[in-house]
Structure 1
């Protein structure tokens, strides 16, 4: 799919994150569940899918004809980075045909000592036509990743880094400022639990949205209901 077609398809739309980590109830060794989630999302109007691991992405692509934001989550010693940290993961994602590769764009260093902007430049040099999304937490991170070549900047990591600890709710002012200052297209992701929040994020300046836990993680959804009832 050509870049412009991808931009047009996802603009102002909902991308559904279909992921299940090993400790979660919907995870199975053989897979098969995330493609069903993706199929349901596609049938209901989603404009794209965000998925983790080559296995899930490959299975999803067999049943859904939507742009995929691909990631590989993996822990590395000596760094808090865990979302598509090295070129090895990028190579694997490109090989399975993801339309957008998402990498962590926060301020920590990768195992080889490189910064997020340096890594993004290396990815773009190796794969000039590959769309790249940087998962960031701050305005500065978003701007520097965009200047390094990231096509999209996601608010994915806000609240999950030491600098942004305590940001546990969707921050519309942050989305607006990022959309005003950052040259990349902004994808609002994280802390979006309700349709009204999704709409307000777009109104704040987001190019598109990623929602996961509120749609595809039943344990998280159940916990939210139970917590509200107990209060």
Structure 2
């Protein structure tokens, strides 16, 4: 699949995030591969997934474009989504069509800026598609300027300086879609079909939904909280 074919495949569509952390009940590459397969049968246009193990299993069953990430914590940084070129190397090796990385205004491990990190990455992988996971409009604009192929609203509400922002952040989606001159992937807090439609109506190329589809524990908690209210 060429880069342009990847873009056309996800255009106007739903990308389903199939992830489970080690402490979660569905943590299993087998389970995530079946989640992704179910999403494909349901009409998803792409998959977002974490770890080489999960992505490898997903690709055995699913022929949709994969946005790959590796979540890894380093002691000297709060950045954990594909934080170094080592994680990028691993994601390239397992054939991710798109690789997503944190593009927030925070220092990475060893004191590197996002400019340092992406300069190194782009030089090594000039033909790879990259998505910037941003938390503010300014971060998204900067990510577009330094050469990311897709701008995501993924981190809005998940950095100390955006904590409390109402999600989905439709204003951020719409502003970036209008001004950044790169395809925008809407992500974060999309809980229902109406949210998804509104996100795509902002001008975003595609939208990612994760928890509302693939995390039954969190979905159950949401229903239980509604009962309590």
In structure 1, C-alpha distance between the alignment counterparts of 2:181 and 2:114, rounded to whole Å: 16
Partner SS state of residue 163, structure 1: coil
In structure 2, C-alpha distance between the alignment counterparts of 1:25 and 1:202, rounded to whole Å: 31
> Quick check: 1:138–1:158 contact (8 Å CA) kept in 2?
yes
Match of 2:12 in 1: 12
Partner SS state of residue 219, structure 1: helix
TM-score of the pair, normalised by structure 2: 0.98
In structure 2, C-alpha distance between the alignment counterparts of 1:141 and 1:184, rounded to whole Å: 13
In structure 2, C-alpha distance between the alignment counterparts of 1:173 and 1:146, rounded to whole Å: 17
Question: Could you report, residue by residue, the CA deviation over 1:144-174 in whole angstroms, capped at 9, with x for unpaired residues?
Answer: 1111110001100000001101014212122
Matched length: 229
User: Are residues 1:108 and 2:113 paired?
Assistant: no
Match of 2:205 in 1: 207
Partner SS state of residue 112, structure 1: helix
Select 1:32's aligned residue among 30, 33, 48: 30
In structure 1, C-alpha distance between the alignment counterparts of 2:169 and 2:88, rounded to whole Å: 30
In structure 2, C-alpha distance between the alignment counterparts of 1:64 and 1:211, rounded to whole Å: 17
Match of 1:69 in 2: 67
Match of 2:89 in 1: 91
Q: Say if 1:119 and 1:183 are closer, same or farther in 2 by CA, change over 3 A.
A: farther
Structure 1 ranges of 4+ moved more than 4 A: none
In structure 1, C-alpha distance between the alignment counterparts of 2:32 and 2:166, rounded to whole Å: 26
Question: Could you report, residue by residue, the CA deviation over 1:63-90 in whole angstroms, capped at 9, with x for unpaired residues?
Answer: 0001000000010011110000000000
> Residues 92-171 of structure 1: matches in 2 within 5 Å?
92-171=90-169
Match of 2:3 in 1: 3
* Unaligned runs of at least 5 residues, structure 2: none
> Quick check: 1:147–1:183 contact (8 Å CA) kept in 2?
no
In structure 1, C-alpha distance between the alignment counterparts of 2:158 and 2:87, rounded to whole Å: 21
Match of 1:21 in 2: 21
Match of 2:186 in 1: 188
Match of 2:177 in 1: 179
User: Are residues 1:220 and 2:211 paired?
Assistant: no
Shift of residue 53, structure 1, vs aligned partner: 0.3
Question: Could you report, residue by residue, the CA deviation over 1:160-212 in whole angstroms, capped at 9, with x for unpaired residues?
Answer: 00110101421212211111121221101110000000000010121100100
Match of 2:58 in 1: 60
